[in-house]
Amino acid sequence: MTGIQLSEWDGAHHNLVRAVKKVMNDPGSFEHVETVYWDMKDHLVVRMTFRGTNAFGAVVPQTVKAWVDLEGNMQKWEWYNPSLTDPPLEFTKKSAQEPRGSAVLCLHCLCNCGIV
């Protein structure tokens, strides 16, 4: 099922890329870095890292995570920023629970400035 959801070229999740580009300051600056997913039997948890240009002209890395049904429809997605105290981002199936460290980021410039 996941083959139809992920790009054969770079492994990005098609619907998640579209959703992220809709809220980016400069959608044309989107550059996919990595997508990983965990099969939770009845849905997937997808984590995507990408780069984009913020309102100040800086290229910044960002990470999002999404909950996706087996047909590729996103149930929800959010910005993901692990704190320095979080475990490494490589989760095993045993520890594939919802990652800690979620935060609301500014959708204007993709930073933590607090303007939502």
3-state secondary structure the chain: CHHHCECCCCCCEHHHHHHHHHHCCCHHHCEEEEEEEEECCCEEEEEEEEEEECCCCCEEEEEEEEEEECCCCEEEEEEECCCCCCCCCCCCHHHCCCCCCECCCCCCCCCCCCCC
**pLDDT value of position 79:** 87
Residue predicted with more confidence, 20 or 113 = 20
Nearest-angstrom CA–CA distance, 24 and 73:
20
> Does residue 67 surpass a pLDDT of 50?
yes
**pLDDT value of position 48:** 94
> Domain boundaries in the chain?
2-95
Q: What is the largest CA-CA distance in the chain?
A: 42
**pLDDT value of position 47:** 93
**pLDDT value of position 10:** 87
Q: In what order do the strands lie in the sheet with 74-79?
A: 31-39, 43-53, 59-69, 74-79
Q: Calculate mean pLDDT across residues 11-40.
A: 93
Q: Calculate mean pLDDT across residues 39-61.
A: 93
> Does residue 99 surpass a pLDDT of 70?
no
> Does residue 113 surpass a pLDDT of 50?
no
Write out pLDDT tens, residues 78-95. Answer: 988 765 444 444 433 333
**pLDDT value of position 4:** 63
Count CB neighbours of 114 within 10 A. Answer: 8
pLDDT band at 28 (very low <50, low <70, confident <90, very high): very high
Query: In 3-state terms, what secondary structure has residue 37?
Result: strand
